[in-house]
Amino acid sequence: MAISTQKPTVTIALPVYNEAENIATLFDSLAKQKFTKIALDKIIIYTDGSTDNTEAIVKEKMKIYPSIELISDITRRGKFYRLNQIYKNNESEVLITLDADIGIIGDDFIEKFAMEVVCDDGAMIVSAHELPIIPKDLIGRVIAVTYIMWDHVRWSVPKCDHVQNLYNRATAYRGSFAKKLHIPDEATEERLYLYLMAKETDGFRYSRNARILYLPVSTIGDYLKLADRAFGRPQPAVNKIFGYDATYHYNIPRKYKAIGIMRSFISDPFYTTISFFMGIWLSKTVLSRKTEDSPIWEISLSSKKKIVVKETAGNK
């Protein structure tokens, strides 16, 4: 069903845990956003048992920006729990969820992102275009190029229509669709569930116009910590909902892997070569480790540093 011809309403929601480093900068970026085609309802912060001064920063910003609301909880329950709260509580026609440790590019980011839903009656979930900020140190850069090589792979899939293009750092939802969502309590990652819910009506979209920046992990320890999360691993709770083993959706066909790796070699042959072999070693190391099955993840500190928005970062 088409969204109203009146200015569509938009809610921006952030599930946060210990985001004092970046959340003030993100608020300031949101305050600079221009809205000509949409109407901002509110910006809601859902704190997940933060132990730093995240809440204090939010409360200070609330004095300046009246559109900000805070929903506080002293108990850490994990991102999935907060997302389910967000889906249930949303009343806007478009819902945008953002991680706090990102940078948004352009003063029209929110409007561009929301309009991807507004202008496409079939769009249920839209994933933003994510670009890594490249560290200056050798190990950090090599790790970052493994991310970029993977970006080339996942972007090689036609229309980017793949669960691996839903990283959920910045996601736009049709409001009526979001109301139907509830990430299973037993799930250990949310992307497969969200992607398959959207795919029931061919409703997944990838936007190259709405772009964000993020810091990839820059240490071997944090890389392995991130890999311990259950991305790509069996998801029995999701399988139960959809009635089949849905984990095969994680796989990307070899031809797109080959295309993506070749594109990465062409764009940066030196670091891609190092990253390629480092990626093989890291993959073997990851497979030998125990998967983290808890929905409450251990934080990778090297990806939580302060973000400075520069459009020259990563790939375009």
Is the pLDDT reported for residue 308 higher than 90? Answer: no
- The string of pLDDT tens digits covering residues 90-130 is 999 999 999 999 999 999 999 999 999 999 999 999 999 99
pTM tops 0.95: no
- The string of pLDDT tens digits covering residues 248-301 is 999 999 999 999 999 999 999 998 998 888 877 766 666 555 555 655 555 555
9-303 is a CATH 3.60.15.10 domain: no
Pairing of strands 170-174, 39-47: unpaired
Cα separation, 67 vs 123, in Å, equals 26
Taking residues 137-166, report their average pLDDT.
93
Pairing of strands 204-214, 125-132: parallel
Pairing of strands 170-174, 102-104: unpaired
From 71, 55, 56, 62, select the one nearest 27 (Cα to Cα). 62
φ, ψ for residue 88 (rounded to 5)? Answer: -65, -40
Bigger pLDDT: 38 vs 306: 38
Q: State how far the alpha carbon of 105 is from the alpha carbons of 25, 108, 287, in Å.
A: 12, 8, 35
Mean of per-residue pLDDT scores for the chain: 88
Residue listed under structure tokens 């994510």: 130
Q: Which residues contact 94 (CB under 8 A, 6 or more apart)?
A: 3, 8, 9, 10, 11, 38, 114, 117, 118, 172, 173, 174, 175
